[in-house]
Structure 1
Amino acid sequence: MTGADLVLPPTDRQTPSAAVLQPPGSQSLDVALAETNILLERHGHLVALYPSSLPPAHEHRLHAVRSVLETDRIALLKLDLPPLGIAVLARQLRQLSVCDFSAGVVASAARLLSHYVYAGALLNSVTKLDRIPVSLKSHAKSWMPGTQFAVLANPEPQLIRVGGEEKLAGPEFGTQLAIAAGQLSPSAAAWVTDTLAPAWQVQGTQEVELPSASPGWWGTPKMVEFAAFLPDVSVLYQLVSSVRIEQCHWCGVQLIGDRCGFCSAPVAPVEGHAVAALSRGST
Structure 2
Amino acid sequence: MTAVVLAGDFPSTGILRASVAQRIALDGAGGDTAPAFIDHMARALQTRGAVLVVYPEWKGKGTRRLVQLARAALLTDRIAGVALDLPPIALSLVADQLTFASSYARPGVLVGLAHRLRETLYAGAWVNSVARLEHIKTGLGAHVSSYLPGGAFAVTAGCQAGVHRITAAKPVPDLGARPGDPVLMLFGGTNGDTEWLQQKLRPAVAAVSATLVAPQPLGAEYWGTKKYVEFVAFSGHPQALQSLLSDFVYRPCGWCGEPTALPHCPLCQMTQPAPPPSPEAVQDQPADVPAVEADVPVAGADVPVAGADVPVAGAGADRTPTAEADEIAVLLQPAPRRPAAADPRLIPAPRATSGDEWPRAGTVAFGPRDRP
TM-score, with length taken from structure 2: 0.66
Alpha-carbon distance change, 138 to 34 in structure 1, aligned in 2, over 3 angstroms: closer
The SS at the match of 1:203 is strand
- Structure 1 residue 228, shift from structure 2 partner: 1.1
Which of 156, 166, 177 pairs up with 2:185? 177
CA contact (8 A) 1:82 1:153 kept: yes
Residue 209 of structure 2 is matched in structure 1 by 204
Distance in 2 separating the partners of 1:104 and 1:128: 37
Offset of residue 50 of structure 1: 0.3
Q: CA deviation at 1:178?
A: 1.3
The CA distance in 2 between the partners of 1:233 and 1:102, in whole Å, is 20
Q: Kindly indicate whether residue 213 of structure 2 is the aligned counterpart of residue 213 of structure 1.
A: no
* Residue in 2 that maps onto 1:277: none
Per the alignment, residue 149 of structure 1 pairs with 153
Among 241, 244, 249, the residue aligned to 2:249 = 244
Alignment of 1:132 with 2:136, yes or no, is yes
Post-superposition Cα deviations, 1:203-229, rounded to whole Å, max 9, x if no partner, equal 222222222222112111211111112
- 2:66 equivalent in structure 1: 61
- Correspondence list, 1:1-283, <5 A: 1-11=6-16, 13=18, 16-23=19-26, 25=28, 27=32, 29-54=34-59, 56-99=61-104, 101-166=105-170, 167-170=172-175, 171=178, 173-174=180-181, 175-184=183-192, 188-270=193-275
- Asked if 2 retains the 8 angstrom alpha-carbon contact of 1:124 and 1:142, the reply is yes
- Residue 199 of structure 1 aligns with an amino acid whose one-letter code is A
Q: Distance in 2 between matches of 1:264 and 1:182?
A: 41
Match of 1:279 in 2: none
Give the SS at the match of 2:208: coil
Report the structure, 1 or 2, having the larger helix content. Answer: 1
Could you give the per-residue CA deviations for residues 224-269 of structure 1, whole angstroms, max 9, x where no partner exists?
A: 1111122344211122123211112343211134443334444311
Question: What CA distance in whole angstroms lies between the structure 1 residues aligned with 2:277 and 2:161?
Answer: 38
Residue 169 to residue 197, structure 1, CA distance change in 2 (3 Å) = same
Does the 8 A contact of 1:178 with 1:207 survive in 2?
yes
Distance of 1:139 and 1:31 partners within structure 2? 41
**Could you tell me how far apart the structure 2 residues matched to 1:88 and 1:31 are?**
24
Larger radius of gyration between Structure 1 and Structure 2? 2
Q: Is the 8 A contact 2:67 2:79 kept in 1?
A: no
Report the aligned-residue RMSD.
Answer: 2.3
Tell me how far apart the structure 1 counterparts of residues 263 and 168 of structure 2 sit (CA, whole Å): 40
Gap change, CA 1:33 and 1:138, over 3 Å in 2: closer
**Number of residue pairs matched by the alignment:** 267
Task: Note closer, same or farther for the CA distance 1:51–1:272 as it changes in structure 2 (3 Å cut).
Answer: closer
* 8 Å CA contact retained: 2:86, 2:157: yes
8 Å CA contact 1:152–1:158 kept in 2: the answer is yes
**Distance in 2 separating the partners of 1:176 and 1:260:** 33
Larger relative contact order (Cα-Cα within 8 Å, sequence gap ≥ 6): 1
Task: Calculate percent identity across the aligned residue pairs.
Answer: 26
Structure 2 unmatched runs, 5+: 1-5, 279-372
Deviation at 1:130, TM superposition (A): 2.5
- The Cα offsets for residues 35-84 of structure 1, whole Å up to 9 and x where unpaired, read as 32111111111111100232644443333222211211111111212222
> In structure 2, what residue type is equivalent to 1:177?
M
TM-score (norm 1): 0.84
The unaligned stretches of length 5 or more in structure 1 are: 274-283
CA drift of 1:12 comes to 5.4
